[in-house]
């Protein structure tokens, strides 16, 4: 199981990113634990300056803008 955190204040791009990760994980049959992190101190703690940010198993894999499906599929392999 992958532990995925979406970092962001709750903006539209953050919500879209969360939804896309959910959809891709379901389509690929990958079990994920998805968490939304909105605390700015926690977000800055990861060194993310532009949101949405994505953290998988403790490692920042994306920051700023909505990732495309192909990128998400790569993370879930």
> Residue 33: which of 4, 57, 8, 76 has the closest Cα?
4
Domains located in the chain, CATH noted: 2-71 (3.40.30.10)
Give the separation between CA 47 and CA 21, rounded to whole angstroms.
21
In the predicted model, what is the mean pLDDT of the chain? 96
- pLDDT at residue 46 tops 90: yes
Query: Is the full-model pTM beyond 0.85?
Result: yes
Percent of the chain with pLDDT over 70: 100
- pLDDT at residue 10 tops 90: no
Give the helix/strand (H/E) hosting 69.
helix 69-75
């Amino acid at each position: 199981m992958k532990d995925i955190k979406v970092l962001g204040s709750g903006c539209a791009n953050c919500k879209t990113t969360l939804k896309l990760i959910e959809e891709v994980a379901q389509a690929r049959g990958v079990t994920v634990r998805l968490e939304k992190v909105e605390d700015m101190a926690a977000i800055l703690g990861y060194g993310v300056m532009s949101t949405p940010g994505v953290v998988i198993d403790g490692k920042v894999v994306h920051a700023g803008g909505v990732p495309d499906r192909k990128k998400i599929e790569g993370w879930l392999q």
